[in-house]
Structures are given as structure tokens and as C-alpha cells.
Amino acid sequence: MGVFEDMREAGVEANTVTYNTLIAACANARKHEKAMGVFEDMREAEVKADTVTYSTLITACANAGKHEEAMGVFEDMREAGVKPDTVTYTLAINLLWCLAKYDSAVLEAERVFTNVLFKENGSTQLVYKLDLHDQTSGSAQSLVIIWLAKLAEHLPSHSTPGTELTIITGYGKHSKVLGASSVRAGVVDLLRTLESPFMTPSHNKGCLSAPIGEVQQWLKLIRAKSKADVGFVEDMLSILRQTHS
């Protein structure tokens, strides 16, 4: 912050990059209030905030456990006409999940990341390997629910023996603590809550797999236990709410 003050004293005007750098420094130091303070200075100086500005602020608030405040930043971003990018959406969906707004998280994930579920753009063929590497914990769990619901509707009644469904989470290779992947932890917790047949194969700690036949039987069981004809997504969210209530 000292450099910033020196710039001001020297009459050098700060631009968007300057403010973004300061906000990021505050976020990395887990000083979200200072980050918000820099943002207010940015507004007063009439320097235009961009996608990076808002994404960094959301991260700063979320890291401080200020999820409602972070969602407020996301709404401010939309009102300001700044278009969220993929990173911003994963952060926003994660916030909705943390706030137990599962329906909203799933709806937003399906709207933004539908392409992840299919083999290619415009295709109706679902992937048998769901890659969640670029997701946050909340957006990953939302996508797993959407994917499973679509599989329940579209899986063939007879599949090739040995065919497996796989969810790729990574295992925290690039985390500060090896194996500490929030995406993996969230997905594992979700699948355990849903009593799914997905397991971690011994040869790859970064994914979860299950035979397609077992997944079909499990999904049928979830459907059979449902008290209303509300669809697979709502069936799974209902189980989630009951467990976390």
C-alpha cells in the first residue's frame, strides 16, 4: 500500500490494473475489509472496475467467510454491466452452494456450464467422464447433480459390460497441501450423502468411478424412494437438504 501512497503523492493516477493489484494483495493477505476499502477508493476515483476486480473481491469476501457480502459484490457486478467470466460464475455458484441455496446453484450451473456435460457442443450425447478440474467445490457438486439427473434419463437400458462412469476431481496436486482438494472433498461428501456407488480407484486418487449398471440401479432406487414426481434433480437435492438440516 506504501507504493500506492507514493504514487498519489507523486501525482501519478492509478488505473484499473493498479487497483486490481492492490485488491489482490489484500485478498491474498485475507484482509477483505481492506480490499473493499480499496474498491471504494476506486469508485470515488471513478476508475472503471472490470471482471478481475469483481472476481478478486468475491474471493476476498468468500475467504473471510462473508458469503452474503460476496454475493452482494456479484450482484453489483451485474448491475454495473460488467460481464462475469467462467471463473466468476464458478465463484458465484460456490457461494450459492455455501449458502445452502442449492436450487439456485444448480440452475446457474446448468445455464452456464451445460457444455461440460456433453461430448461436444451441440451434441446430446452425455460424457461418461465428467471433468471438474476447473470448478469450485459448489459448482462441481451442482454439475454432478445435473449430470446424474441427465444420466438417469438418458442412459441406455443395456450397456456394455465393464463400462464405467467417472468423475474427475483431481486430488489437490497444486494445492498448498497435497491431497487437499476442496472440489474432491465436496464431491466425495455429496456422493456419500446420496449413498452412491462411486468409489476412488486404487490407481487414480484424482477421480471417482462406478460401473454404469450399478449407477443405473442406484438412480432407480432414488427415484423409487421419491414421494413426488419432481424429477431426479429435486430428488437428490431433497436428500441433501434432509441430511444438512
pLDDT at residue 163 in the model: 85
pLDDT at 240: 87
Cβ pair 168, 130 in contact under 8 A:
yes
Banded model confidence at residue 96, pLDDT cuts 50, 70, 90: very high
pLDDT of residue 176: 43
More confident residue, 6 or 74: 74
Q: Note the pLDDT of residue 119.
A: 76
Whether residue 170 contacts residue 184, with contact meaning beta carbons closer than 8 Å, is answered with yes
DSSP-based helix, strand, coil % in the chain, nearest 5: 60, 5, 35
Give the residue from 199, 197, 194, 196 showing the smallest Cα distance to 243: 194
Sorted by where each begins, the domain ranges of the chain are 2-84, 111-244
CATH number of 2-84: 1.25.40.10
End-to-end CA distance of the chain: 44
Place of cell 456435460: 117
User: How does residue 175 score in pLDDT terms, banded at 50, 70 and 90?
Assistant: very low
H helices of 11-154, in order, are 16-28, 32-44, 51-63, 67-79, 86-98, 102-113, 137-154
Cα 75 off chain centre by: 17
pTM: 0.85
Cα–Cα distance for residue pair 55/89, rounded to 1 Å: 9
Q: What is the pLDDT of residue 174?
A: 47
How would residue 86 be classed by pLDDT, with cut points 50, 70 and 90? very high
What was the pLDDT predicted at 178? 45
**CATH code of the domain made up of 111-244:** 3.30.1370.110
Mean pLDDT for all residues in the chain? 86
Among 35-39, 124-128, 222-226, the range with the most confident prediction by mean pLDDT is 35-39
Q: H-type helices in 155-198, by residue range?
A: 182-193
Cα distances (angstroms) measured from residue 145 to each of 95, 148, 151, 177: 17, 5, 10, 27
Percent of the chain with pLDDT over 90: 59
- pLDDT per residue over 140-167, tens digit each? 999 999 999 988 887 766 566 678 999 9
Q: Tell me the pairing of strands 207-211 and 164-168.
A: antiparallel
pLDDT by residue (tens digit) across 40-71? 999 998 999 999 999 999 999 999 999 999 99
User: How confident is the model at residue 6, as a pLDDT?
Assistant: 54
